[in-house]
């Protein structure tokens, strides 16, 4: 069978090189934020849609039904013996989504799996790569063995259950298997300690004028390992500003 590329968002989709063959699927979620419970996929997705619709003004429940959920359904039905390439960066926002997408794969499908990471110093963003560098990235994709896929699936399960100790242990195992993710356990532990909120609170205190734009840019510059976009950081910004 052919190649299937699971992309980390529409920004990469819009500039994905034509020279790279294969079907394109897009993960349009924000799984680092909100509930991860659900006794079955239907309940899980319903919970996600309800939360995102309430937490963010855009893009709304219709977008989830029309542009998010169908992509996940396609991921759960990738043809057997396909070569599946996960295009996810090293930041935590991307990694949460990556672990979830791995959990959707059918273990008996005889597919081959690969992780396409942007090389340092661009590990937190494909935007810094040219088309030629994107092609080089897929040529250097990291093969994901059955054991590593199982570890990533267990990492997602531990994350869903809120078992942080087990998640950190599994993240350490993944970081050993994938050297480009060597800082994953450190970043995950910092996130559990809410270091991102401490940094954001300090930036707010240092900018009494309260303009979000400069604070957002400073946060992204100082802590790119979180990978937070403007919508998620704005949510944290509003919550912290109300309590300061």
pLDDT digits (tens, 9 = 90+) for 222-231: 999 999 999 9
Q: What does the pLDDT average to over 8-34?
A: 97
pLDDT digits (tens, 9 = 90+) for 161-198: 999 999 999 999 999 999 999 999 999 999 999 999 99
DSSP the chain: --EEEEES-HHHHHT--TTS-SEEEE----TTSS----SSHHHHHHHHHHHHHHH-SSS-HHHIIIIIHHHHHHHTTPPTT-EEEEE--SSHHHHHHHHHHHHTS-TTS--EEEEE-PPTT-TT-GGG--HHHHHHHHHTPEEE-HHHHHHHHHHHHHHHHT-HHHHHHHHHHHHHHSGGGTTHHHHHHHHHTTHHHHHHHHHHHH-TT--HHHHHHHHHHH-GGG---HHHHHHHHHHHHHH-
- Average pLDDT, rounded, for the chain: 95
pTM comes to: 0.96
> What local confidence, expressed as pLDDT, does residue 84 receive?
98
> Per-residue pLDDT for 58 more than 80?
no
């Amino acid at each position: 069978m052919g190649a299937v590329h699971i992309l980390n968002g529409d920004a990469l989709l819009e500039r994905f090189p034509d020279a790279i063959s294969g079907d394109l699927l897009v993960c349009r979620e924000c799984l680092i934020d909100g509930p991860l419970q659900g006794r079955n996929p239907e309940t899980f997705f319903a919970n996600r849609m309800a939360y995102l619709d309430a937490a963010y003004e855009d893009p709304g429940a219709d977008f989830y039904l029309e542009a998010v959920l169908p992509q996940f359904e396609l991921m759960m039905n990738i043809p057997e013996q396909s070569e599946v390439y996960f295009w996810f960066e090293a930041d935590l926002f991307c990694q949460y989504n990556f672990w979830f997408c791995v959990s959707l794969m059918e273990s008996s499908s005889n597919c081959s799996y690969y992780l396409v990471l942007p090389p340092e110093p661009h590990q937190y963003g494909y935007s810094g790569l040219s088309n030629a560098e994107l092609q080089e990235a897929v040529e250097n994709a990291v093969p994901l063995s059955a054991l590593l896929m199982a570890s990533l699936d267990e990492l997602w399960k531990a994350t869903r259950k809120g078992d942080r100790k087990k998640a950190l242990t599994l993240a350490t195992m993944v970081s050993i298997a994938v050297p480009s993710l060597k800082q994953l356990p450190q970043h995950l532990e910092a996130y559990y300690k809410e270091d991102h909120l401490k940094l954001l609170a300090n930036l707010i205190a240092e900018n009494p004028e309260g303009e979000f734009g400069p604070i957002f840019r400073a946060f992204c510059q100082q802590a790119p390992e979180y990978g937070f976009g403007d919508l998620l950081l704005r949510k944290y910004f509003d919550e912290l500003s109300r309590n300061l």
